[in-house]
Amino acid sequence: AFDRDRLREGRIVVRRARPGETLETLDGVLRELDPDTLVIADAERPVGIAGVMGGLESEITDETRTVLLETANFEMRSIRRTARAQRLRTEASARFERGLDPNLAWEGATRAIALFRQLIPGCRVTAVVDIYPNPRLPRQLCMPRSEIPRLLGVDFPDELVLDVLDRLEFQPELRQEDGRAVIVVQVPTYRSDVTIAADLVEEVARVVGYHELPEALPLGRTVPVEISPELRLVRAVQDTLAAAGLTEVITYPMVDDAALRALLPGAATFPDRYGFYPRPERELVRAVNPIRPEWAIMRPSLLPSLLRSAAENLKFNRAVAIFETGKVYLPRGLDELPDERRTLGCLLAGARHLRDLYHDERPVDYFDLKGVLETLLPRIGAPDPRFRPLAHPSLHPGRAAEILIKGQPVGILGEVHPEVVEAFEIDPDTRVVFAEIDLQRLLEIGLEPPRLRPVSRYQPVDQDFAVVVDEATPAAEVADAIMAGAGALAVSIRLFDIYRGPAIPAGKKSLAFRVTFSAPDRPLSDEELARLRERIEGHLRRRVKGELRR
């Protein structure tokens, strides 16, 4: 409604806003109008934003004597766009945004005039203009009569169906077309929700009552849930690591150039390996329009993500033990999607034990995480993991290893280089150990069911073996030689001491192992244990050139 006496030439037009035009709306805000905004204007200037809010200069006041009443319908997408651009949501815009029947405009006008005459008996209508060049007409919709029992599972009499549709102003007519009964209706213009035959069936069911529909239990068999091998493996990893005291984290799978350069001490260029994976020859997958500058590249390793997470947590905690079973993204060919590798990343930082009644405080080290992995891998079906020395650009020299399963590399383990630690804003004196395992590679190699050994009824026997070997001989090879000599009677083996000193020749070391022997059907005699010891000693000489210390 406009005060006609305040309109230039006493008329309005509907047009797009002109460049530079402004309008002070009813809420007292002076708004700039862009050329896409639909406005109601008089002969010179805008007096309202169409479908949203009117202007302050033409509002109805106590001095108004002549009212120009406009009832219109506007295209809903245009009103939604204008309301968002102006950050102005009103009751009018909310209605127009949902779409209205244009035929309601005349009914709204006649209702408003009736209210004027009721409230102001002396008022009169001096002119009416109706501009509606393309009227919207009712649509014809044809529904096969058989659709009702087909969709509802129950049929209703023709008289009831026609009566329901007639009360809903659909003007139904039952006909015979091509030898079948059909119901032809005229869909009112205000029923934009009715577009297909199923909508008419729903209207019939809604009015007749859903309680008339027959009750029946669903038939068929539930499809068994199939868990993929990858998901089963991930769940087993998560359960085992959580039981080992680590906390699962989920980090954002994007990094930036600075984080990748920081993986190389000195940060002069990019390292030749990102975690377990070698640096790809092709450029890494980059976001065209990243949300944040530090989220520009899809990560090729979990290491930078876990280091950032550890840096934040170490601000409030003296010990961090986290893991993630996320994906890394390795580029393939041009215009190809990246290779998404499901990967496990584990990180320990800070103190391994805080000082208490039972422990002295000490930092984490390589062997803490190695022990976690030696527990994890056999439980998920990767028995007998091997660890081979490795030179890695992000890890401390001499404190890094490659993880082998069935002779094939599946991951890395080691202490993160102090310069890399410092680059991620962690105190360089804080020890950080990291491991990364390609879970997809484990599936490709083949996992085995966990090996179960029945518990013997007879008492096991522990014996210690102190083996003198060359300094360069790995302890794992010595353990393999002992287990090969012991055969099936050896239940477990554990390295508990390493000695270097004057009691043994230079260039040598003494490795002390504790081996547990047990037989399922008999107690082991001293003679049998003596023979085992002799056989083990022979295997040590042949395989690692080792001698037992007497």
Task: Indicate which CATH number applies to the domain containing 293.
Answer: 3.30.930.10
CATH number at residue 46: 3.50.40.10
User: Does residue 186 share a domain with residue 115?
Assistant: no
Final residue before a domain boundary, out of 91, 119, 147: 119
pLDDT of residue 367: 92
pLDDT of residue 217: 79
Distances (CA, A) of 465 to 489, 494, 527, 536, 547: 16, 10, 17, 9, 10
Q: Is residue 453 part of a domain?
A: no
User: Does residue 275 share a domain with residue 344?
Assistant: yes
User: Does residue 433 share a domain with residue 308?
Assistant: yes
On whether the CB atoms of residues 270 and 279 are closer than 8 A, the answer is: yes
pLDDT of residue 168: 94
∠ CA 327-328-333, nearest 5°, is: 125
pLDDT of residue 292: 87
User: Does residue 145 share a domain with residue 67?
Assistant: no
Q: Is residue 108 part of a domain?
A: yes
User: Does residue 168 share a domain with residue 33?
Assistant: no
The pTM of the full predicted model, rounded to 2 decimals, is 0.61
Q: How many domains does the chain have?
A: 4
CATH number at residue 186: 3.30.56.10
pLDDT of residue 296: 92
On whether the CB atoms of residues 88 and 25 are closer than 8 A, the answer is: yes
Q: Is residue 287 part of a domain?
A: yes
The residues with which 323 forms a beta bridge, in sequence order, are: 248, 346
Q: What is d(CA 417, CA 46) in angstroms, rounded to the nearest whole number?
A: 69
**Which tokens go with 420?**
């890399």
pLDDT of residue 354: 78
Q: Is residue 456 part of a domain?
A: no
**Which tokens go with 115?**
């209210």
Nearest of 99, 44, 49 to residue 77 by alpha carbon: 99
Nearest of 357, 320, 311, 304 to residue 245 by alpha carbon: 320
Q: Is residue 64 part of a domain?
A: yes
User: Does residue 348 share a domain with residue 237?
Assistant: yes
User: Does residue 255 share a domain with residue 170?
Assistant: no
pLDDT of residue 169: 93
Q: What is d(CA 62, CA 56) in angstroms, rounded to the nearest whole number?
A: 14
- Cα atoms in the Cβ-side hemisphere of radius 13 Å centred on 543: 19
Q: What is d(CA 337, CA 331) in angstroms, rounded to the nearest whole number?
A: 7
* Beta pairing class for 67-68 and 273-274: unpaired
* Beta pairing class for 180-187 and 247-248: unpaired
Neighbours of 451 (CB within 10 A): 9
Alpha-carbon torsion, ordered 477, 479, 480, 484, to 10 deg: 140
pLDDT of residue 454: 84
User: Does residue 481 share a domain with residue 414?
Assistant: no
Q: What is d(CA 18, CA 33) in angstroms, rounded to the nearest whole number?
A: 8
Q: What is d(CA 92, CA 90) in angstroms, rounded to the nearest whole number?
A: 5
Residue 314 DSSP code: T
On whether the CB atoms of residues 467 and 513 are closer than 8 A, the answer is: yes
Q: What is d(CA 47, CA 399) in angstroms, rounded to the nearest whole number?
A: 77
Contacts with 56 (C-beta within 8 Å, 6 or more apart), sequence order: 24, 25, 26, 28
Domain that holds residue 161: 139-212
Could you give phi then psi for residue 525, rounded to 5 degrees? -85, 165
Final residue before a domain boundary, out of 62, 88, 119: 119
pLDDT of residue 235: 96
User: Does residue 327 share a domain with residue 265?
Assistant: yes
The residues with which 273 forms a beta bridge, in sequence order, are: 278
CATH number at residue 515: 3.30.70.380
The residues with which 24 forms a beta bridge, in sequence order, are: 30
User: Does residue 369 share a domain with residue 259?
Assistant: yes
> Residue 383: helix, strand or coil by DSSP?
coil
- Cα atoms in the Cβ-side hemisphere of radius 13 Å centred on 286: 9
Residue type, 2: F
pLDDT of residue 23: 93
Nearest of 546, 541, 550, 538 to residue 467 by alpha carbon: 546
* Beta pairing class for 139-144 and 180-187: antiparallel
3-state SS of 440-491 is: HHHHHHCCCCCCCCCCCCCCCEEEEEEEEEECCCCHHHHHHHHHHHHHHHEE
Nearest of 372, 377, 373 to residue 450 by alpha carbon: 377
Q: Is residue 451 part of a domain?
A: no
pLDDT, tens digit, 9 for 90 and up, residues 333-350: 888 899 999 999 999 999
User: Does residue 182 share a domain with residue 244?
Assistant: no
**In 188-268, which ranges are E strands?**
247-248, 254-255
pLDDT of residue 340: 95
With a cut of 50, list the residues of the chain below it in pLDDT. none
Q: Is residue 388 part of a domain?
A: yes
On whether the CB atoms of residues 335 and 261 are closer than 8 A, the answer is: no
Q: Which helix (H) or strand (E) holds 413?
A: strand 408-416
pLDDT of residue 146: 93
Neighbours of 329 (CB within 10 A): 20
- Cα atoms in the Cβ-side hemisphere of radius 13 Å centred on 111: 6
User: Does residue 283 share a domain with residue 190?
Assistant: no
**Which tokens go with 17?**
């806003």
Could you give phi then psi for residue 198, rounded to 5 degrees? -60, -30
**Backbone Cα Rg of the chain:** 41
Q: What is d(CA 498, CA 513) in angstroms, rounded to the nearest whole number?
A: 9
Final residue before a domain boundary, out of 417, 445, 473: 445
Q: Identify how many contiguous H helices and E strands the chain contains and give both numbers.
A: 14, 27
Q: Tokens 């360089």 map to which residue?
A: 428
Q: Is residue 392 part of a domain?
A: yes
